């Protein structure tokens, strides 16, 4: 019999024949923590102070939210700035259904409006939820709608800690 290998380790010739292996499907659950590294301040300000902070490159003046520790254009270290949390919807998505086991259901139940929002003065855009009572397509949320940030009462350091609401237009 040829030696069997698992992950590159040779097993002895008298190891159990693969045909005799009995396998049982099972599940593993891991609990762990991870660091946001150079953008930790963004989440800490949301959790502790209900404030939005963004980063800006002093060399090319591009602003980033989601923040970037280093400017992806010129690789300069960015600096932190407070932001009032106002912006414009770039691309809304109206979601009326998700799979019953979809991970998104940990954060929100359909129907909901999900959107890319470009905060004022920023180069990139943030994926976020837009809260509105009128969930009909393009009624209160559409490309160009002005929005402002809100903070959830319970915050745990994820982008789901914030959402946006349409700003009443004069």
CB of 16 or CB of 74, closer to Zn ion? 74
From the list 11, 15, 60, 143, which residue makes contact with Zn ion (rule: CB under 5 A)? 60
Contact residue for Zn ion among 54, 65, 71, 129 (CB under 5 A): 71
**Does 74 interact with Zn ion (rule: CB under 5 A)?**
yes
Token code pair at residue 137: 């397509």
CA distance 80 to 162: 19
Footprint on residues 85-144 left by Zn ion (CB under 5 A): none
CA distance 49 to 38: 18
The half-sphere exposure of 125 on its side-chain side, counting CA atoms within 13 A, is: 15
Residue 140 CB partners (closer than 8 Å, separation 6+)? 132, 133, 134, 166
149 contacts Zn ion (rule: CB under 5 A): no
Told to check if 16 binds Zn ion by CB under 5 A, we report: no
Site for Zn ion in 28-57 (CB under 5 A): 57
CB of 29 to Zn ion, least distance (A): 42
């Amino acid at each position: 019999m040829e030696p069997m290998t698992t992950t590159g380790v040779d097993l002895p010739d008298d190891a159990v024949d693969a045909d005799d292996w009995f396998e049982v499907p099972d599940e593993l659950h891991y609990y762990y923590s991870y660091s946001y590294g150079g953008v930790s301040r963004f989440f800490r300000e949301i959790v502790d102070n209900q404030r939005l902070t963004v980063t800006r490159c002093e060399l090319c003046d591009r602003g980033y939210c989601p923040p970037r520790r280093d400017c992806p254009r010129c690789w300069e270290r960015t600096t932190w700035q407070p932001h009032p949390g106002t912006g414009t919807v770039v691309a809304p998505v109206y979601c009326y259904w998700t799979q019953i086991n979809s991970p998104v259901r940990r954060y929100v139940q359909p129907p909901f409006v999900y959107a890319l929002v470009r905060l004022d003065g920023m180069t990139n855009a943030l994926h976020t939820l837009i809260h509105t009572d009128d969930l009909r397509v393009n009624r209160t949320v559409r490309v160009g709608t002005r929005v402002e940030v809100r903070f959830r009462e319970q915050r745990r350091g994820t982008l789901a800690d914030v959402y946006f609401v349409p700003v009443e237009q004069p």
